[in-house]
Amino acid sequence: MAASSSPPHHVPTALTLLFILVSATTTNGSIGVNYGTVADDLPPPGEVARFLLQSTVINRVRIFDPNPELIQAFAHTGIQITVTVPNDQIPRLANLSFAQQWIKSYIQPYFPATNLVRILVGNEVLSTGNRLLIGTLVPAMQTLHAALAGASLDRRIQISTPHSLGILSASTPPSAGKFHGGYDVHILKPLLGFLRSTNSPFMINPYPFFGCSEETLDYALFRPNLGFLDPNTRIRYTNMLDAQLDAVFSAMKSLGFGDLEIVIAETGWPSKGEPSQIGAGQENAAQYNRNLMRHVNSGDGTPLMPNRTFETYIFSLFNEDLKPGPTCERNFGLFGPDLTPAYDVGILRPTVSTAVAAQPDGGGERKGAGKWCVAKEGADVDSLQRNIDYVCGALVGLGPGCGPIQEGGECFFPDTVRAHAAYAMNAFYQAMGRNDYDCDFRRTGAITAVDPSLLLLKLRFDSFCVYAFIFTCDDDGGRWCNFAGYGNCKYGH
């Protein structure tokens, strides 16, 4: 079945849309943003949610308190939301009745309309030095998980807590990374055990900005540099973020938890700072965040964690003019209060005019030319229908919309969810600029280099043959489509 609204895409001239049951590799990295609100000039949450959905590639958001207005603003957007429990509530959450009430107040009224995926218990708790908070952190996480289980939400919503790099007693060289003594066995080992048992990630806040000097600025910004040689592994590191992540990995591995996923809960670069602060400025902020997005989604991983991507949350969505501290603390934002970019980081979706200009007949080769987005083999129908709903509702009014896969549309037949998802997923991927993360679709999409230029494609495997479903829609003189060599074709518009 087809959705009732239009997908966020402009179908390029002679756009060929391929759906085929194949196994393919896709990038599972994801870019999120930290949505802080310590400011007096921010737009309403509903406007922010619509802006993120319609105008950016951001598909995950972390908020720093369980503000009902913020949570409700993201209802029906599909954007994955992480809610943070303030530090001062941690001791009370160790009590089951309080934890149950917290879930009833801040989670159940908004789920599943709002796509709540994770609860963070505090922020950088170990770095506070507060014995009460530190001593109740793991019990609070365990109790909150029990409350989720009681509401049958424990398999839908994860629980974790983010840490600063201050939890490390040693980070250089990366292979020698260690947690602080006392915290390692008594706090972090039980915490890591809880994360493993609940299939939740270890979350870290690495900031190369705060660790760099004038001599290591290029190293921090992913720019060409001589790098750093780890004498133990003989690995040369070419950027500071990899070294920081591998130091954390080494510390985790030393406790027997090298298998856990690591999520970058915060990282960023200020566009303004004190004169004495090395590297603060718009150009460097743009370069760091742009290179960060490319790196964490590349699939390269790090030297000690190769061939992986990292779920990453940039700090932050807005400049926050009421934050205390040095100038830089108020200037990590990607956007101003009027939702204009603080600098160009490549996080905005291309407009229709940009998409048209990027077509082959508009001059130059497009990024990712020769790549298409397809559904992964084994993707379930419910997930594919959600993909259709997301694409068709995200940017209503742009391009021909979902009309071609609605009843009576040129590409309505075959009338199956898989066929319609093929149209929607690839159209979205093509129109958004062929970014790998635009074919993720919660790990149901895959990027292929198979050329779908033929109307009928036969793939031969060892002992059988699979016919591909090929959709071709042409906006140049007459819209038409073809499926597997036979027609449900309507010429003209």
Neighbouring residues of 242: CB distance < 8 A, sequence distance ≥ 6: 174, 302, 303
User: DSSP state, 174?
Assistant: G
Beta strands in 99-220 (DSSP E): 116-121, 158-160, 162-164, 168-170, 178-179, 202-205
Residue 124 annotated among the catalytic residues of the structure: yes
Per annotation, catalytic residue among 47, 124, 214, 274: 124
Residue 261 annotated among the catalytic residues of the structure: no
User: d(Cα 124, Cα 354) in Å, to the nearest integer?
Assistant: 41
3-state secondary structure (DSSP) of residue 442:
coil
* Contact present, 46 and 394 (Cβ < 8 Å): no
- Stated as kind and residue range, the H or E segment containing 138 is helix 131-150
User: d(Cα 89, Cα 93) in Å, to the nearest integer?
Assistant: 6
Burial of 281 (C-beta count, 10 Å sphere; 0-12/13-18/19+): middle
339 phi, psi to nearest 5 deg: 70, 20
User: d(Cα 165, Cα 149) in Å, to the nearest integer?
Assistant: 31
| Position 164, amino acid | S
| Cα dihedral value 207, 210, 214, 218, nearest 10 | 0
Neighbouring residues of 304: CB distance < 8 A, sequence distance ≥ 6: 174, 175, 233, 235, 246, 249, 250
Count CB-CB contacts under 10 A for residue 282.
15
Cis peptide before 306 (omega within 30 of 0): no
Per annotation, catalytic residue among 69, 215, 261, 266: 266
User: d(Cα 269, Cα 340) in Å, to the nearest integer?
Assistant: 18
- Tell me how far CA of residue 395 lies from CA of 51, 161, 389, in angstroms: 10, 34, 11
3-state secondary structure (DSSP) of residue 230:
strand
User: d(Cα 107, Cα 66) in Å, to the nearest integer?
Assistant: 9
Nearest of 252, 99, 239, 98 to residue 163 by alpha carbon = 252
User: d(Cα 38, Cα 50) in Å, to the nearest integer?
Assistant: 20
β partners of residue 118: 82, 158
User: d(Cα 50, Cα 81) in Å, to the nearest integer?
Assistant: 14
* Contact present, 446 and 24 (Cβ < 8 Å): yes
Active-site residues, by number, are 124, 266
